[in-house]
Amino acid sequence: AGWKIGAASVVPVGGAATFQDPKSGDPAAVVQPEAGTFVAFDTVCPHQGCVVAYSTQVQRFVCPCHGSQFNGRTGAVLNGPALTGLGRISVKKGPDGQLYVT
């Protein structure tokens, strides 16, 4: 149950795919840090509202505006100026191979 956001197969292991959060309308990303594990975050930086991007090289979300960095598994802030982490979005893989925001 939930809102379908796309096929799990489009999210590479160690990478991310973007989607629009059906609850808030914000840009978001789902990450597969290891095979079969999916985590998702609101990608609006809590510092000043820029949209962060996932870097597969460092497995972090990086803000292009002011350089804040966030953990790719937890969304926690690693480097400021942001003082708080990214908002977590609950996501599950369904038996149909699709990802759902719950």
Q: What is the pLDDT of residue 89?
A: 98
Are the C-beta atoms of 40 and 91 separated by less than 8 Å?
yes
Give the pLDDT score at 1. 74
Give tens-digit pLDDT for 13-72. Answer: 999 999 999 999 999 999 999 999 999 999 999 999 999 999 999 999 999 999 999 999
| pLDDT tens, position by position, 60-88 | 999 999 999 999 999 999 999 999 999 99
DSSP secondary structure code for residue 81 in this structure: S
Nearest-angstrom CA–CA distance, 26 and 42: 7
Q: Dig out the tokens for 73 from the structure.
A: 């598994």
Q: Is the pLDDT of residue 7 over 90?
A: yes
